């Protein structure tokens, strides 16, 4: 059985093949589900591997349970893969080493790592391993976490605190992905990405802000969230509300790797995308949804939406409900 990208949910198991065919079948299944990889056949032909794949809200959810193996994505493999993704990898049993972005990272139980599908990467599994990977289109992930490049190829411990909550969530998502109704797939993925992003940002300790500056930044973010529907929302309005200069506001956001205007635009687009994917709102006009979240020009909205998500709002809405 081969994975078909149009299927909402599929499971693959090497036990469905003759022992002498299992490793070769595993290579094919991994390439069908996890983008293009080159695997070394260092094992015997007999090989155990299990994969579950589900498309939720434009994200590819992958559960993998397999024996030790070694693989890499070369420049040639990267060119043969469609799309540009960030891989959000969580190990909840077993161990492996990942070579990415000039770093060698030892992954074990409760380890989390982000990798870039457009760059070479290698992995070595040293034991039976169970893991979950979320393949997220890069434009969408950048909108969620603009400073994502600073996290690439780095080991992040997901064993304690809020990170442990995220780890439990990801594990359950990998095990129960097939039971999630397609109509709420977008909400499930939105929740997952927001939880992961919150964990990453909370653990960021480079150049920490003073409490006063952090409180002002938090208040500015909350002000933006509450006023996204205002067409006039921008640096001048925000700075005036807090009686600070626009220059100070820009510096405040720059400390977090953010641009005020880009952040506002990304949040508006994300709110529009969520509404466009809700079945009970399918009769709402795209223009009314755009105006609801602060856009005042439907042509401009369509242009920036396509730039971010790769398709027009109308195409996005049609594709979502045709699936």
Cβ atoms of 95 and 110 within 8 Å: the answer is no
Domain annotation covers residue 1: no
Q: Is there a single domain that holds both residue 189 and residue 264?
A: no
Report d(CA 156, CA 111) in Å as an integer: 6
% of the chain surpassing 90 pLDDT: 36
Q: Is there a single domain that holds both residue 20 and residue 39?
A: yes
Q: How confident is the model at residue 207 (pLDDT cuts 50, 70, 90)?
A: low
189 dihedral zone (left: phi>0; alpha: psi -120 to 50; beta): alpha
Domain annotation covers residue 241: yes
Compare 254 and 224 and report the one with higher pLDDT.
Answer: 224
**Residue 314: DSSP 8-state:** H
Structural domain ending residue among the three candidates 172, 202, 232:
202
Q: How confident is the model at residue 141 (pLDDT cuts 50, 70, 90)?
A: confident
Predicted pLDDT at 295: 92
257-313: per-residue pLDDT in tens? 778 888 898 889 888 888 887 755 555 688 888 998 999 888 889 988 887 777 788
Domain annotation covers residue 3: no
Q: Is there a single domain that holds both residue 193 and residue 251?
A: no
CATH number, position 167:
2.60.120.10
List CB contacts of 14: < 8 A, sequence separation 6 or more: 22, 23, 25, 26, 29, 47, 48, 49, 50
Q: Specify the 3-state DSSP secondary structure of 92.
A: strand
Q: Is there a single domain that holds both residue 181 and residue 95?
A: yes
Domain annotation covers residue 2: no
Q: Is there a single domain that holds both residue 109 and residue 242?
A: no
Q: Is there a single domain that holds both residue 75 and residue 222?
A: no
Which segment, 129-133, 167-171, 247-251, 269-273, is predicted with the most confidence on average?
Answer: 129-133
Distance of CA 67 to the CA centre of its chain: 26
Counting every residue written for the chain, the total comes to 323
Burial 85-116 (b: 16+ CB within 10 A, else e): bbbbbbbbebbbebebbeeebebbebbbbbbb
- Global pTM exceeds 0.95: no
Domain annotation covers residue 140: yes
Report d(CA 92, CA 168) in Å as an integer: 9
Q: Is there a single domain that holds both residue 33 and residue 153?
A: yes
Q: Is there a single domain that holds both residue 171 and residue 222?
A: no
Q: How confident is the model at residue 56 (pLDDT cuts 50, 70, 90)?
A: confident
Owner of token pair 């972005």: 101
Report d(CA 311, CA 107) in Å as an integer: 36
% of the chain surpassing 70 pLDDT: 90
Q: Is there a single domain that holds both residue 185 and residue 216?
A: no
Q: Is there a single domain that holds both residue 78 and residue 178?
A: yes
Domain annotation covers residue 317: yes
Report d(CA 132, CA 174) in Å as an integer: 6
How many domains does the chain fold into?
A: 2
Q: Is there a single domain that holds both residue 121 and residue 37?
A: yes
Predicted pLDDT at 239: 93
Q: Is there a single domain that holds both residue 236 and residue 194?
A: no
Quick one: average pLDDT of 132-153?
A: 85
Predicted pLDDT at 283: 53
CATH number, position 272:
1.10.10.60
Domain annotation covers residue 279: yes
Structural domain ending residue among the three candidates 177, 202, 227:
202
Beta strand segments in the chain, E:
9-13, 38-40, 49-56, 59-66, 70-73, 85-93, 96-100, 103-107, 111-116, 121-125, 129-137, 156-157
Structural domain ending residue among the three candidates 181, 202, 223:
202
Domain annotation covers residue 245: yes
Domain that holds residue 61: 9-202
Q: How confident is the model at residue 156 (pLDDT cuts 50, 70, 90)?
A: very high
89-109: per-residue pLDDT in tens? 999 899 999 998 778 899 999
Cβ atoms of 153 and 103 within 8 Å: the answer is yes
Burial 255-288 (b: 16+ CB within 10 A, else e): ebebebeebbbbbbbbbbbbbbbbeeeeeeebee
**Residue 152: DSSP 8-state:** B
């Amino acid at each position: 059985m081969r994975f078909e990208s149009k299927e909402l949910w599929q499971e693959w198991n090497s036990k469905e093949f003759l022992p002498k065919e299992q490793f070769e079948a595993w290579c094919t299944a991994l390439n069908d589900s996890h983008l293009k990889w080159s695997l070394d056949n260092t094992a015997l032909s007999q090989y155990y591997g299990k994969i579950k794949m589900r498309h939720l809200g434009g994200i590819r959810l992958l559960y993998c349970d397999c024996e030790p193996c070694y693989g890499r994505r070369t420049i040639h493999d990267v060119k043969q893969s469609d799309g540009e993704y960030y891989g959000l990898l969580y190990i909840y049993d077993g161990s492996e080493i990942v070579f990415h972005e000039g770093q060698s990272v030892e992954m074990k139980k409760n380890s989390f790592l982000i990798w870039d599908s457009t760059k070479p990467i290698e992995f070595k599994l040293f034991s039976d391993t169970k893991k979950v990977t979320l393949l997220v289109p890069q434009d969408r992930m950048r909108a969620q976490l603009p400073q994502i490049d600073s996290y690439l190829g780095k080991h992040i411990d997901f064993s304690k605190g809020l990170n442990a909550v995220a780890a439990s969530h990801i594990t359950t998502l990998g095990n129960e992905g097939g039971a999630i109704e397609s109509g709420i797939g977008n909400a499930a993925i939105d929740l997952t990405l927001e939880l992961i992003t919150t964990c990453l940002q909370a653990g960021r300790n480079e150049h920490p802000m003073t409490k006063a500056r952090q409180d002002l930044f938090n208040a500015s973010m909350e002000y933006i969230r509450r006023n996204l529907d205002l067409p006039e929302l921008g640096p001048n309005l925000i700075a005036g509300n807090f009686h600070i200069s626009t220059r100070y506001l820009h510096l405040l956001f720059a400390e977090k790797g953010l641009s005020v205007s880009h952040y506002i635009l990304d949040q508006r687009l994300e709110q529009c995308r969520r509404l466009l994917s809700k079945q009970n709102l399918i009769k709402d006009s795209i223009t009314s949804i755009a105006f609801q979240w602060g856009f005042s020009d439907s042509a401009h909205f369509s242009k920036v939406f396509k730039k971010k998500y790769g398709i027009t709002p109308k195409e996005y809405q049609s594709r979502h409900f045709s699936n």
